[in-house]
Structure 1
Amino acid sequence: MSAVSSRLPVFPWDRLEPYKATAAAHADGIVDLSVGTPVDPVPELIQKALIEAADSPGYPTVWGTVALRNALTGWVGERLGATGVTHANVLPVVGSKELVAWLPTQLGLGPGDTVAHPRLAYPTYEVGARLCGANAVAYDDPTTLDPAGLKLLWLNSPSNPTGRVLAKDELVRIVAWAREHGVLVFSDECYLELGWEADPVSVLHPEVCGGGYEGVVAVHSLSKRSNLAGYRAAFIAGDERVLGELLQIRKHGGMMAPAPVQAATVAALGDDAHVAEQRARYAARRAALRGALEGHGFRIEHSEASLYLWATRDEPCWETVAHLAGLGILVAPGDFYGPAGDRFVRVAFTATDERVEAAVKRLGG
């Protein structure tokens, strides 16, 4: 038996452990701005929905309850501006990382096929290609790629790690090119509700896709907007032929969101107040950290959206990681996201107000 893990890179976060130990030795404790995991409480109305659905002895369905599908179609229409969305255009998934990692396999891709992702990107796009034996290629502009053999094109706006937002005109151009060449587009939009200096647009917006969803699918998550990373609540929306195929495969694979999580997702998508409250928290933390980093000699690039600041001191990223670890602050080295990030660090503002304040003080703010 061949080890599938041999196809995969070294898990990047393991390389950060020595720096984590250094930061943890600080007299006032570590300020962990590396992973970007939510730290604020799950909103009470979502907890209540989960608890009320706790008595769920039967198997849930892969497609989700009618109430969940109604919530998904309603949100996609209201928040993304998508039109004519039906239940056939939505599908819940067990966290967006699971979807990203296993999508190429579920699409039947393999050796000889190509999966494309941004030059600076979430590492799991490449992992998904490697798991099925497909080729992974990085791009700056996807329309310059050779479409021969290109089966799956990942977009990511707002970007992880840079926070860059693709303008609507750029999305229109890319979607038109992909359709012309028969390339399936999956757009990772998990940070779409966290725009700060830009208003991110979905590929499902009619001004981007023309009101039809052929060859286009959007990926969304409740991990960041609703603090539900621990719930693994996410979904995809778009081309009904693609989603219908994935639904059949996932039925056989048992990839179904737990019934209480489905109920919690309905509650989360039906409430805007908690999203606005969480945005306000992140906005304050972002402003404080950005000012402190710039005062400490950093330059911030992009970062107009998402939960990260893309920062550089114009030195190798691991030198920056070591410098900040000495101050008790842990950040992610930019080369986790590709060689093009080797002089940047990604600074998350998913830390408590108290820890953010501690980081600001250590940076001299």
Structure 2
Amino acid sequence: MARISVAASLPDFPWDSLTAAKNTAQAHPDGIVNLSVGTPVDPVAEIIRDALASVSAEPGYPTTIGTVELRTAAVDALGRRYGVTGIGTDAVLPAIGTKEMIAWLPTLLGLGAGDLVVIPELAYPTYEVGALLAGARITRADGLNRLGPENAALVFVNSPSNPSGKVLPIEHLRKVVAWARERDAVVVSDECYLGLTWDAEAVSILDPRVCDGDHTNLLAVHSLSKTSNLASYRAGFVTGDPSLVKDLLEVRKHAGMIVPLPVQAAMTAALSDDEHEKMQRERYRARRIELKAAIERAGFTVEHSEAGLYLWVTRGEPCRTTVDWFAERGILTAPGEFYGPSGSQHVRIALTATDERIHAAAERLAP
């Protein structure tokens, strides 16, 4: 029997297409300022590193569901930081980074050929990849009523948005929940950037103002990569509808999708300490202020960007032209087309660089 290539069904990895622009940026006399990816550059807090080391001598297998301490810390943090109530520790499941969870959720939830997955018009590429891995169909739609009578099995929402930093208001999220419940669809809310708001209030899909305290068919995915600088740890979790979380747990136990115990201990510490998170948020706030002002002085428009780790930038030209313009100044950005056709005249510029590199970028953009 001929081997079926899963990779052949997937789109090309977007960042592989930036090689030429990256080479141009690297040739700058003062070196490249890489603002094309959202990877943390700041130190991991000592309290987190100490927790990681505290169980490094433990030889046994960790549990897929995670320690009680981790799940309790997650429940408490959701309430303390985001006003989410009504979550039990049985409704929290750690993930090996939220990209992994998002990529496999359609498969883990049993979706397949014929099922429809709705993703935002501007979307993190992994939403589409997850649907394709499950063999499902996708459609891009922010206004769900435009889908007409067609039913969906799963709806991804992302607020604050990657790439645009747009924040969905409570009333919009309420409409998404109502639309999905009429069709018995699952709503998965990617809340990776919920703790990084600047000019608007971002709320969880599990906020009682959104769902009236009813978490049925709702899942929220949370990451510690951005707010706690734990991208290298692969630390995240999913929470919401206890029955859906239980189903995910059962499949993941069979598949061996287990977060290492030291990482679980580190997550517990990160979720229990708000001080390091506040410090990191203020670092990003300062970088955003400097970089946004420099970009606007250079003649660009920053759209949305009320929250998150990116500036969504345009001057009304093809995005690859803008990428090349920045690359000539030693700055690497991500073309908006990575995130969907409606991003064809934008670039995404990350705040995840050191203060020195952000300042260098700002100086290069001076008229």
Q: Structure 2 length normalisation: TM-score?
A: 0.98
Q: Does 1:157 align with 2:154?
A: no
1:101 maps to 103
CA distance in 2 between counterparts of 1:149 and 1:284 reads 44
Question: Residues 143 and 174 of structure 1 are in contact (CA less than 8 Å); yes or no, is this contact kept in structure 2?
Answer: no
SS in 2 for 1:84: coil
Match runs of 1:182-197 below 5 Å: 182-197=184-199
Q: Residue 87 of structure 1 aligns to which amino acid in structure 2?
A: T
**Range moving further from structure 2, 72-81 or 229-238:** 72-81
- Cα shift at 1:133: 1.0
Match runs of 1:139-158 below 5 Å: 139-146=141-148, 148-158=150-160
Question: Residues 147 and 183 of structure 1 are in contact (CA less than 8 Å); yes or no, is this contact kept in structure 2?
Answer: no
1:112 maps to 114
- Cα shift at 1:202: 0.6
Q: Does 1:26 align with 2:28?
A: yes
Q: Does 1:313 align with 2:315?
A: yes
Question: Residues 35 and 331 of structure 2 are in contact (CA less than 8 Å); yes or no, is this contact kept in structure 1?
Answer: yes
Question: Residues 151 and 183 of structure 2 are in contact (CA less than 8 Å); yes or no, is this contact kept in structure 1?
Answer: no
- Cα shift at 1:169: 1.1
2:133 maps to 131
Question: Residues 99 and 126 of structure 2 are in contact (CA less than 8 Å); yes or no, is this contact kept in structure 1?
Answer: yes
How many pairs were matched up? 365
**Structure 1 gap segments, 5+ residues each:** none
Of all paired residues, the percent bearing the same amino acid is 56
1:333 maps to 335
Question: Residues 226 and 278 of structure 1 are in contact (CA less than 8 Å); yes or no, is this contact kept in structure 2?
Answer: yes
1:232 maps to 234
1:343 maps to 345
Q: Does 1:53 align with 2:55?
A: yes
SS in 2 for 1:190: coil
Question: Residues 112 and 149 of structure 1 are in contact (CA less than 8 Å); yes or no, is this contact kept in structure 2?
Answer: no
SS in 2 for 1:110: coil
2:17 maps to 15
2:92 maps to 90
Post-superposition CA distance 1:253-279 (Å, at most 9, x none) = 000100000000000001111111111
2:269 maps to 267
CA distance in 2 between counterparts of 1:250 and 1:231 reads 19
1:206 maps to 208
Q: Residue 290 of structure 2 aligns to which amino acid in structure 1?
A: A
Moved segments of 4+, more than 6 Å: none
Post-superposition CA distance 1:55-109 (Å, at most 9, x none) = 1211111100111111111112222222222122111111000011111111111
Q: Does 1:37 align with 2:31?
A: no
- Cα shift at 1:146: 4.0
Report the aligned-residue RMSD.
1.0
- Cα shift at 1:136: 0.9
SS in 2 for 1:150: coil
1:295 maps to 297
Question: Residues 38 and 227 of structure 1 are in contact (CA less than 8 Å); yes or no, is this contact kept in structure 2?
Answer: yes
- Cα shift at 1:147: 5.5
Post-superposition CA distance 1:127-182 (Å, at most 9, x none) = 01111111011002123324644101000000000000000111112111211221
CA distance in 2 between counterparts of 1:170 and 1:361 reads 39
**Structure 2 gap segments, 5+ residues each:** none
- CA separation of 1:129 and 1:149: change in aligned 2, threshold 3 A: same
SS in 2 for 1:218: strand
